[in-house]
Amino acid sequence: MQIEGKVALITGANGGLGEAMATRLKKAGASLILSGRRKDALAPVCEKLGAKMIIADLAKPEDVKRLHEEAGQVDIAVLNAALPASGLFLEFDEEFVNRALDVNLRVPIVMAHHFGKQMVERGSGHIVFISSISGKVASLGTSMYSATKFGMRGFALALREELAEKGVGVSTVFPGFIRDAGMFAKTGVKLPGVVGTKSPEDVANAVYRCIAKNVGEADVAAFDQRVGALLAAISPTLVAGIQKNFGGHDVSKQMMSAQRDVR
């Protein structure tokens, strides 16, 4: 779709990846509505990009409803907000399990329902789900995160088929290890030499391409992770063994430790 002159909502925009996406869509001529939990982090981004700001905690149904009301009519919805949710499943309490399911899966579905109806009525629009390569490859310490991201992929694929003839596009972007900004970058974990990274700008460009070209899925990951995703679709147990033998478990344990208090 033509992005210039359209209104684009981006959730989770107070993080580095959200800012990169917002900057790219602003460059393409979109008017921005940016949402996030932390005003101190979101306000400077909104000021720099001339965006409307909505502070909302997506784990709270009342905040989701208010976000819908304050956003009004949008042409592009980039559903980016998520919790890391890394850690061993049996160590989580029920409250966190519910919060992770809400923020990472239920709310993007609810928002797609709300904004999707608007778009169908107008006969145009685009919804972008920001998933993760963990939505294709499961690994140690990602039980909750992978559950939500695998679920997001299935939902998006089916929704894309449902809305294809109604003028509304649906895409899913799968970032791998992203340097400089985002969940992984914040951990400070050092990857083995054979594992590559991509930049926040790579993610932003993928989002732009998905909207402009109506691309169904886009992997934004280094070669090793893209190959892993392909193999995991054929033999997930094989990929699990490769991860274990080539330092994947060590990386997972470091990330679990670094994200232990990110809730």
User: What was the pLDDT predicted at 188?
Assistant: 79
Residue type, 245: N
User: What was the pLDDT predicted at 256?
Assistant: 66
Residues 207 and 160: their CA atoms lie apart, in Å, by 16
User: What was the pLDDT predicted at 33?
Assistant: 98
User: What was the pLDDT predicted at 239?
Assistant: 84
Residues 83 and 13: their CA atoms lie apart, in Å, by 13
Q: Which residue's structure tokens are 């969940």?
A: 183
What CATH homologous superfamily does 7-258 map to?
NAD(P)-binding Rossmann-like Domain (3.40.50.720)
User: What was the pLDDT predicted at 246?
Assistant: 64
User: What was the pLDDT predicted at 70?
Assistant: 98
**Three-state SS for 236?**
helix
DSSP-assigned beta bridge partners for residue 178 = 198
User: What was the pLDDT predicted at 150?
Assistant: 96
Among 115, 129, 145, 184, the one annotated catalytic: 145
208's CB contacts (< 8 A; 6+ apart) are 3, 24, 25, 28
Q: Which residues of the chain have pLDDT under 50?
A: none
CA atoms 114, 120, 126, 128: torsion sign? positive
Residues 130 and 17: their CA atoms lie apart, in Å, by 10
User: Within 10 Å of residue 197's Cβ, how many Cβ atoms?
Assistant: 17
| Cα three-residue angle 209-212-217, rounded to 5 degrees | 50
Q: Respond yes or no: is residue 145 known to be catalytic.
A: yes
